[in-house]
A and B are shown apart, each in its own frame.
Chain A
């Protein structure tokens, strides 16, 4: 018998790799483009990938009971999957490409040795999917933690961007120390233009999770895609027709098991009749690797009975019930009852409940924030709000003429604002700590906060303050007094305060425009006054 691999499918396999590279390149290009490029409004939709994700569309729509228009695009993915199967997972998904790439490396290094008849259940991802969906019915948004695009983007924003920044600034300093002045300067200017954010709280956890997800590929090929990915599971449920159906020519097949051993997602192309169409991502590995070219994917329109994953009704029911009891745990938190001072949301953020329903913790806003001020929350927002964006003015303030975070939010958790609208959005209020403020506490002149206050008239006004010094003298200085009605809570005062460790002027969330409860001074309606 003639032993020869199929040329056609080897070509197709190469094409698939090219497609993965191309889509990853697009993803990365859009990622890098998510920054202030010199115009107030971004000209390309850098968050576009997310809109094609049906899992995000479903969960955020169910959770918030609100449909975000851009998610219509996810219908494209669904229809495509319905007809062709999970091609998106194998050919397009950038996180899938990352896993594929590392699986390949681990195979080459022999850390990953695929076994014959791997029986590890592929069901967990369906269980995760059900849990995530049911949670969203209770308006608990868990999808962001495990959605592949969210996971990848967040890891890139919080870990990879600082890494790039470090790498480039270190090479600049190396260039300077080698006397390569102009090279150092070129790198420095490029860094200044791209402004890579370099400090993130929680980067350790987010970074380590990313590496764990990658390291798991050394155990099982495309571990994430096989066992964890809820988006893949959803597409699996929708891969109904799979018009290109795997077919093994029994005449040619030599029962070598190679196709099933090397299958990226353990879709069992062999034995004949056991192919799990809902697991197949059309990577074409089996057809390309088959030593006798016995495997083909001919066009066949008929819907077939899905050789799915063994997921009994009992398991489904138990999962659903468990989630039903677990989901509310996230809501048993005082954060729901009362506002938290450090929970300063980006301008345009919806009221907290709606915000939590919609935010997928992808990190787009953190990537685009020009001052690095938007940070992944740890405890600020309660258990539901882990890794949602909060402004930490000590790290970076909210630029007055910037609404970029509101432009890149893929789910509308941050409502898109024009620059004019943004400058009127109050996100918090600054308060002076007179025990630490230089004029008040030390009798020293300063006024740095007043100088930086961006609103006109300034929200920080100056008053003359007399401080008794130990020498018995009275030091008279100008000291800050916050006019809370004018303060928008941008936090530049806190950021620039000379008392760097525990600033003498701090912003807290009180007075934020989006909340009806977190208010301070009772506003008198001036319009009514003038009418009377």
Chain B
């Protein structure tokens, strides 16, 4: 609590002194906030506040869309989907920051309603005041992604119409891209024959990550899936890390997430590609990381 009060004080003080939060961000805030603790809510709040608070990312009257991973018909303890309490916290924080509307949606793999319910995300997000939308094929629109491999693809207009996007991936292993974190999460914002994207999965991930520009990425590493990814199936496939990683650099976040599984970020093809295209920093030693425990 002391820390939170301190940060709040800092923010209020800086506003009073007439310094814009953005300017402050460049000077004072860490690039990655890594917060660990027992409560998913507290560590989520802690991480967002550590990198400048939700108001730094969400403006008054913004239409916000949150993209958690709701891909699978799995309960939260299977770590296949994003932690529902964290989604709830981010919905609350967005509304506190002045968002006009908060939408939560994902293009699931199992039947959407099953995933929305069993993951606990629908109930959690709705209770915080979000509009939870099932993916609707009629709201797909073919857009020019301007990617290096993916030129045109169908995207849900809900993501195009939002003022701000918040990416809330889960932390899991994957047989092809090795890990599925923030960049892989964008496969849930598109339609079309998604199973074809696996043929060059790393390039697809980078093209999509370059297209969707989230205001903020909050990586749920409360419980991570280290085996039988990306949907697990047994609690023994998961490990408690009780951690949230927040930031605006999609490469740095995924690089950090990869370390949970003892991967060296430089080993992962999609991270190499993303870094070489200037999407962010791959070398974690050059990233300003601040770790906290709450």
* A and B interact physically: yes
Query: Once the chains are docked, how many angstroms separate the CA of A195 from the CA of B135?
Result: 12
B198 near A498 (CB under 8 angstroms)?
Answer: yes
Size band of the A side of the interface? 35 or more
Interface core residue of B109, B199, B200, B232 (most chain A CB under 10 Å): B199
With CB as the reference atom, state the residue of chain B lying closest to A477.
Answer: B176
A478 near B73 (CB under 8 angstroms)?
Answer: no
Question: B118 at the A/B interface (Cβ < 8 Å)?
Answer: yes
Interface of B is mostly: loop
- Contacts A193-B113, A370-B111, A399-B111 given; indicate if A456 touches B232 (C-beta within 8 A): yes
Q: In the assembled complex, which residues on chain A have CB atoms less than 8 Å from the CB atom of B114?
A: 36, 370, 399, 401-402
Query: Once the chains are docked, how many angstroms separate the CA of A371 from the CA of B228?
Result: 24
Give the number of A-B contacts (CB < 8 Å): 91
Q: In the assembled complex, which residues on chain B have CB atoms less than 8 Å from the CB atom of A399?
A: 73, 110-111, 114
A176 near B113 (CB under 8 angstroms)?
Answer: no
Please choose the segment from A259-267, A375-383, A441-449 that sits at the chain B interface, where 4 or more of its residues have CB less than 8 A away: A441-449
Smallest distance from the beta carbon of B95 to chain A beta carbons, Å?
21
With CB as the reference atom, state the residue of chain A lying closest to B133.
Answer: A189
With CB as the reference atom, state the residue of chain B lying closest to A448.
Answer: B195
A192 near B195 (CB under 8 angstroms)?
Answer: no
Question: A455 at the A/B interface (Cβ < 8 Å)?
Answer: yes
Q: Chain A, 360-383, contact with B by CB distance < 8 Å: what is the 0/1 string?
A: 000000000011000000000000
Q: In the assembled complex, which residues on chain B have CB atoms less than 8 Å from the CB atom of A500?
A: 193
- Contacts A173-B138, A192-B113, A478-B175 given; indicate if A438 touches B199 (C-beta within 8 A): yes
Smallest distance from the beta carbon of B204 to chain A beta carbons, Å?
12
Query: Once the chains are docked, how many angstroms separate the CA of A518 from the CA of B227?
Result: 32
With CB as the reference atom, state the residue of chain A lying closest to B201.
Answer: A445
Query: Once the chains are docked, how many angstroms separate the CA of A457 from the CA of B73?
Result: 17
A447 near B111 (CB under 8 angstroms)?
Answer: no
Query: Once the chains are docked, how many angstroms separate the CA of A188 from the CA of B140?
Result: 12
A445 near B198 (CB under 8 angstroms)?
Answer: yes
Q: In the assembled complex, which residues on chain A have CB atoms less than 8 Å from the CB atom of B109?
A: 452, 496
In the complex, which residues 100-123 of chain B have their Cβ closer than 8 Å to any Cβ of chain A?
Answer: 109-114, 117-118
A454 near B231 (CB under 8 angstroms)?
Answer: yes
Smallest distance from the beta carbon of A495 to chain B beta carbons, Å?
10
A447 near B175 (CB under 8 angstroms)?
Answer: yes
Q: In the assembled complex, which residues on chain A have CB atoms less than 8 Å from the CB atom of B142?
A: none
Query: Once the chains are docked, how many angstroms separate the CA of A455 from the CA of B109?
Result: 15
B193 near A498 (CB under 8 angstroms)?
Answer: yes
Smallest distance from the beta carbon of A9 to chain B beta carbons, Å?
49
Query: Once the chains are docked, how many angstroms separate the CA of A462 from the CA of B174?
Result: 12
Pick the residue among A184, A401, A498 that contacts B138 (CB under 8 A).
A184
B138 near A195 (CB under 8 angstroms)?
Answer: no
Question: B169 at the A/B interface (Cβ < 8 Å)?
Answer: no
Query: Once the chains are docked, how many angstroms separate the CA of A189 from the CA of B138?
Result: 11
- Contacts A399-B114, A444-B199, A448-B198 given; indicate if A185 touches B231 (C-beta within 8 A): no
- Contacts A193-B134, A370-B111, A399-B110 given; indicate if A456 touches B175 (C-beta within 8 A): no
Query: Once the chains are docked, how many angstroms separate the CA of A430 from the CA of B47?
Result: 45
A36 near B111 (CB under 8 angstroms)?
Answer: yes
Pick the residue among A176, A444, A457, A497 that contacts B228 (CB under 8 A).
A457
Question: B191 at the A/B interface (Cβ < 8 Å)?
Answer: no
With CB as the reference atom, state the residue of chain A lying closest to B234.
Answer: A456
Pick the residue among B136, B175, B196, B200 that contacts A450 (CB under 8 A).
B175
Question: B237 at the A/B interface (Cβ < 8 Å)?
Answer: yes
With CB as the reference atom, state the residue of chain B lying closest to A498.
Answer: B195
Q: Chain A, 145-187, contact with B by CB distance < 8 Å: what is the 0/1 string?
A: 0000000000000000000000001001100100000001100
Query: Once the chains are docked, how many angstroms separate the CA of A94 from the CA of B20?
Result: 70
- Contacts A38-B117, A401-B114, A445-B199 given; indicate if A185 touches B139 (C-beta within 8 A): yes
Q: In the assembled complex, which residues on chain A have CB atoms less than 8 Å from the CB atom of B138?
A: 169, 172-173, 176, 184, 188
Smallest distance from the beta carbon of A168 to chain B beta carbons, Å?
11
A195 near B195 (CB under 8 angstroms)?
Answer: no
With CB as the reference atom, state the residue of chain A lying closest to B134.
Answer: A192
- Contacts A189-B136, A401-B118, A457-B228 given; indicate if A451 touches B174 (C-beta within 8 A): yes
B111 near A458 (CB under 8 angstroms)?
Answer: no
Q: Chain B, 13-56, contact with A by CB distance < 8 Å: what is the 0/1 string?
A: 00000000000000000000000000000000000000000000
B175 near A462 (CB under 8 angstroms)?
Answer: yes
With CB as the reference atom, state the residue of chain B lying closest to A400.
Answer: B73
In the complex, which residues 182-209 of chain B have their Cβ closer than 8 Å to any Cβ of chain A?
Answer: 193, 195-196, 198-201
Other 10 A-B pairs with CB < 8 A, given A38-B113, A172-B136, A189-B136: A185-B139, A188-B139, A193-B113, A399-B111, A445-B198, A445-B201, A448-B195, A451-B231, A462-B175, A498-B198
18 CB contacts below 8 A, A to B, read: A38-B117, A172-B136, A188-B136, A192-B134, A192-B135, A370-B111, A444-B199, A445-B200, A447-B176, A451-B231, A454-B233, A456-B232, A456-B233, A456-B234, A496-B109, A496-B195, A497-B195, A498-B193
